[in-house]
Amino acid sequence: MADIESHLMHLVDDDDEFWIDQADSLAIFASPDRFTTHRLPNHLTAMVEVSDRFHIGR
């Protein structure tokens, strides 16, 4: 959990360039072994999913 939090805090605190060129939506897939962000051209409804696998459905 600390690894995920450190990745998120890096985006919030240190990465101004990341936030300058955003698309309509942002998807973040985070686990202890992986942290991936995707900028998406379409507008998604805000949601949070906590599970043992990534949720990529509609």
Q: How far is CA 7 from the centre of its chain?
A: 10
What pLDDT does 2 receive? 73
The pLDDT tens digits of the residues spanning 7-53 come to 777 777 766 777 777 778 888 888 888 888 888 888 888 888 888 88
| Closest to 28 in 3D by CA, of 42, 41, 11, 3 | 11
What pLDDT does 28 receive? 84
